[in-house]
Chains A and B, each alone.
Chain A
């Protein structure tokens, strides 16, 4: 009997090390003055989240991070149910997520429409000039072989091409449906790969897919000499980086800090920071974020 009690105690001790079971650590609903910063499942999103989080923390605001959650279809639920207070977003895709039919494509129109379309309690702050758009990308060889400069040039070959992208590309209005509607481009096959990550890059390189969805600030594009096809009919709307935040947590101080970040963020910076992240020594996004904030004087 005594031995059993000792063993039970030992096990209890073990579980106590990890915090109060079931209510400890990240499971605890954060005290109401903590801002929970989330991010999507790709490096740039993590970087932007770290920038927001570090800036807020350095000014004394309590911050907790929940990074690398998943795609918008998944994490938006977390934003809506209050698990996440703040997350970096892209104006065009966010707009299409809350209003599938939204026709706006220009940067300012998208921003205005977005502000109106967001559900009660959620707001976006100032948009930055930094843009990271989805794009149809092909390899240099294919671009040369078929003389491709814009998606319009691709149209006669769509039915022979296999297209690669994140699984959600199939369903999104600015995905396959948009390409079909605006360019009458329907691909032979769609291969679900990842969010502009290693799978998609590899798929292009080994010709498993002839065209793919990548992001315009992805350092892999330059590194592999991929060609970004122009989008004259605007399937992909403007994608300005901006913070999506729970209105209740958007105090004036928080707004000032985040708006200051958005002022200093531009596309060139995003490209540079992404390149830093992809460099051989693989610095942590937190470190890259801190360095940039210091150099930007925030």
Chain B
């Protein structure tokens, strides 16, 4: 594997490692953005109103059970090749953890805090946006980062229907029985996942209020 990975020929050109890395990162980030745009409002609304929790959990479970390969193939058969099927499959994969994390986060906000917010005259939207969501951020990020890891790992499968990304090395390596290439692909995916997670951990640090940060064994401040 070292041989394949460190061969300079594999680092250049339109099929080289940097290009595939960027493609893979592109799939991941855009997927997470779309999934977040869908899942966070849904999870927040259900968490805030307390209605339909069963739906959130149920929907999460169903989506989690969908094999990504099947969704990918179905969309390809229906809409043709290209990147669209990849995004459909990956977004469906990313929604459950983000939605579950948001829902759980909002439900876990101390009711006393919420009550206090209402007590000072905040409107419902204010309660949601200025109190519940900021307090729920750690759990929202938890779901988000979990989703990110899954998406990075699963985006590999997209290469089966001709898409780009690091999965190309895995599938081409498989077809050529070139284990060096396959292993390199797998290692690069794992590396990218670690980097993406670190990136979001940093983002979490920046956006989550210091008062909510877990300190050592859970002591306050």
B172, A167: Cβ atoms under 8 Å? yes
A202, B176: Cβ atoms under 8 Å? no
B80, A168: Cβ atoms under 8 Å? no
B14, A71: Cβ atoms under 8 Å? no
A199, B174: Cβ atoms under 8 Å? no
Q: A219 to chain B: which residues have CB within 8 Å?
A: none
B14, A70: Cβ atoms under 8 Å? no
Q: Pick from A74, A168, A193: contact of B162, CB below 8 A.
A: A193
Assembly CA distance A198 to B161 (angstroms): 9
Within 8 A of B (CB), among A159-184: 166-168, 170-171
Q: B172 to chain A: which residues have CB within 8 Å?
A: 167, 192
A192/B175 contact (C-beta < 8 A), A202-B80, A202-B81 known: yes
Within 8 A of A (CB), among B170-208: 171-172, 174-177
Q: Separation in Å of the A96 CB from the closest CB of chain B?
A: 15
A199/B171 contact (C-beta < 8 A), A73-B176, A73-B177, A170-B176 known: no
Q: Separation in Å of the A278 CB from the closest CB of chain B?
A: 14
Chain B residue nearest in CB terms to A200: B162
B162, A194: Cβ atoms under 8 Å? yes
A171, B162: Cβ atoms under 8 Å? no
Assembly CA distance A199 to B160 (angstroms): 10
B174, A189: Cβ atoms under 8 Å? no
Q: Separation in Å of the A191 CB from the closest CB of chain B?
A: 8
Within 8 A of B (CB), among A39-87: 70-71, 73-74
Q: B76 to chain A: which residues have CB within 8 Å?
A: 198
Q: Separation in Å of the A250 CB from the closest CB of chain B?
A: 27
Q: Separation in Å of the B186 CB from the closest CB of chain A?
A: 17
B168 within 8 A of A: yes
Q: Pick from A166, A189, A203: contact of B175, CB below 8 A.
A: A166
Assembly CA distance A171 to B176 (angstroms): 7
B177, A189: Cβ atoms under 8 Å? no
Of A74, A166, A189, A192, the most chain B CB neighbours within 10 A belong to A192
Within 8 A of A (CB), among B46-82: 76-77, 80-81
Q: Separation in Å of the A174 CB from the closest CB of chain B?
A: 15
A residues with CB within 8 A of B: 70-71, 73-74, 166-168, 170-171, 189, 192-194, 198-199, 202-203, 206
Enumerate 10 A-B pairs (CB-CB under 8 Å) in ascending A order. Answer: A71-B175, A73-B175, A73-B177, A74-B174, A167-B176, A192-B171, A192-B175, A194-B162, A199-B81, A202-B81
Beyond A74-B177, A168-B175, A192-B172, list 8 extra A-B contacts (CB 8 Å): A70-B175, A71-B175, A167-B175, A192-B171, A192-B175, A193-B162, A194-B162, A198-B81
